[in-house]
Amino acid sequence: MRKNEHLTNTMVYPNFFDEDKITHCLSNSTYLGPGIPVQIRTCSIYVINDNDDIVKYINEFIKKINNKFYNFDIVDIDGEDIPKRFEYTSAENGKFDEHLDIGSNPQSSTRKISYSIQLTDGDEYEGGDLVFWPKSTYNSPELRKMRRQKGSIIFFPSYMVHAVTPVTKGVRNALVGWVNGNPFR
């Protein structure tokens, strides 16, 4: 049996999305609705139109990361867990309280890897930090700044507790999605 030392690692890769992909996600999306439940999540959610190339690009990269670090039994991004744009605004005190991305319902019970792609420059808003528990080096100022860089992608196991702190000024946009696989056993 092999040991896996990456089961609680978050990983950040800057410049994952170029300006063309970012522009496509921001300007070519359809509003799905508010974040639900509103007590926990306050944001607007959008589906990206014509997303085949983006999904393929994300899939290929996640497979490489998974094979190198996590070694989870995963499948391609598909169905309800395709990437969606989450828009958090200061006007609505946009936030997402502490939560896990894995759950007991059929859609979330097989999530293995969560990811967030930063679509807004971190200088364009205040608050809106993606933070992790237990509080540790994952929340160091250097990593928080790296996660706020426009175009960066952040990976983490879907069972890690995380949150988006309230946006106090401006607007934060991120492309968020999940990769599924056979249930953990």
pTM for this model (two decimals):
0.93
Q: Which tens digits make up the pLDDT trace of 47-82? A: 999 999 999 999 999 999 999 999 999 998 877 889
**CA 105, 108, 112: angle at the middle one, nearest 5?**
145
Q: What is the pLDDT of residue 138?
A: 60
Please report the sign of the dihedral spanned by the C-alpha atoms of residue 85, residue 129, residue 104, residue 13: positive
Contacts of 17 (CB under 8 A, 6+ apart): 25, 117, 119, 151, 153, 175
Q: Which tens digit of pLDDT belongs to each residue from 21-41?
A: 999 999 999 999 998 888 899
pLDDT digit string, tens, across residues 80-114: 889 999 999 999 999 999 999 998 888 788 999 99
Query: What is the distance between the alpha carbons of residues 58 and 60, in angstroms, rounded to a whole number?
Result: 6
Cα–Cα distances in angstroms (integers) from residue 167 to residues 93, 127, 163, in the given order: 6, 4, 12
> Cα–Cα distance between 25 and 70 in angstroms, integer?
27
List beta partners, residue 173.
Answer: 87
Q: What is the mean pLDDT of the chain?
A: 91
Q: DSSP of 65-105, one letter per residue?
A: HIIIII--------GGGS-EEEEEEGGGT-EEEEE-S--SS
